[in-house]
Amino acid sequence: MSLMTMIVKMSEGLSRTCAIFFLTLLFSLPLGMIVALLRMSKVKVVSAIMRFVITILRGTPLMLQLLAVTYGPYYLFGVSVSRNKLIPVVIAFSINYAAYFAEIYRGGIESIPVGQYEAAEVLGYTRFQTFMRIILPQVIKRIMPSVTNEVVTLVKDTSMAFTVSYQEMFTIGKQIANSQTSFMPFLVAGAFYYIFNVIVDYVMGRVEKRLDYYQ
């Protein structure tokens, strides 16, 4: 098989890689905020539960979580494994990444000086207005570097979908590598991820720059 054929075949999986990537961000970014807010809840039980959930999600392999979400329903309830593996893959990725984003958000929220809340309170901002207008915009700016880190990791983590045989780029590459006894598909995959991340870095850098107008 020529290098060109390999690249073309693997590119076909790239759209699925992108699907995992974008859908995971779409769901995990807001979900992470909900988890962060619950984690910071003044109701002790709620925050304790969230703390536990986060330790599970961060303390066990993503690969294991992928397997659990994909095949767990079959073993537990006898529900047949869906043909479209995209759904369980995105669910597993979204939940896992939400746990990481939640801790990033929490760190960001807790880093905002209490004086910002007090100033808003005296000026008659409601709690919701204070959060949406005063706190959140400052949090976003502060957490951008950490979020970029996670997003870059996510690009590479999409390759883990091979464990449930979801036909994304890396899974296809691995199949070609096996059938052709060649290491070349892995190098092609590496190049794909690298280029993907160069683009991610560029985009995130632009966003950070746009938030650079204040300190």
Partner 1 sequence: MTDTMINTGETGSAPSILAIRGLQKSFGSLSVLKDISLSVERGNVVSIIGPSGSGKSTLLRIATFLETGDGGDILYDGQYAMHNGVYVSKKELNTFRTRFGLVFQNFNLFPHYSVLKNITEAPILHGENKEAARERGMELLKKMGLEGKENAYPCQLSGGQQQRVAIARALAMNPEILFFDEPTSALDPELTGEVLKVIRQLAEEKMTMVVVTHEMPFARAVSNHVIFMDGGVIVEQGHPEAVFGATTQERTKQFLRNYKQ
Q: Which is nearer to partner 1, 202 or 214 (CB)?
A: 214
Q: Which is nearer to partner 1, 108 or 173 (CB)?
A: 108
Rounded to an integer, what distance in angstroms lies between the CA atom of residue 9 and that of residue 85? 19
Single-letter residue type at 34: I
Q: Using CB atoms within 10 A of its CB, is residue 134 exposed (0-12), middle (13-18) or buried (19+)?
A: middle
Collapsing DSSP to helix, strand or coil, 211 comes out as coil
Nearest to 101 by CA among 26, 29, 25, 200: 29
Q: How far is the CB of 129 from partner 1 (least distance, A)?
A: 6
Q: Residue 24's CB: how many other CB atoms inside 10 A?
A: 24
Q: How far is the CB of 24 from partner 1 (least distance, A)?
A: 28
Q: Tell me if 198 sits within 8 A of 19, measured CB to CB.
A: no
Q: Which is nearer to partner 1, 12 or 121 (CB)?
A: 121
Rounded to an integer, what distance in angstroms lies between the CA atom of residue 106 and that of residue 110? 6
Q: Tell me if 68 sits within 8 A of 74, measured CB to CB.
A: no
**Which residues here bind partner 1, judged by CB under 8 A?**
113, 115-116, 118-125, 129, 133-134, 137-138, 141, 213-215
Q: How far is the CB of 100 from partner 1 (least distance, A)?
A: 25
Rounded to an integer, what distance in angstroms lies between the CA atom of residue 43 and that of residue 30? 21
Q: How far is the CB of 140 from partner 1 (least distance, A)?
A: 9
Q: Which is nearer to partner 1, 105 or 170 (CB)?
A: 105
Q: Which is nearer to partner 1, 121 or 201 (CB)?
A: 121
Q: How far is the CB of 128 from partner 1 (least distance, A)?
A: 11
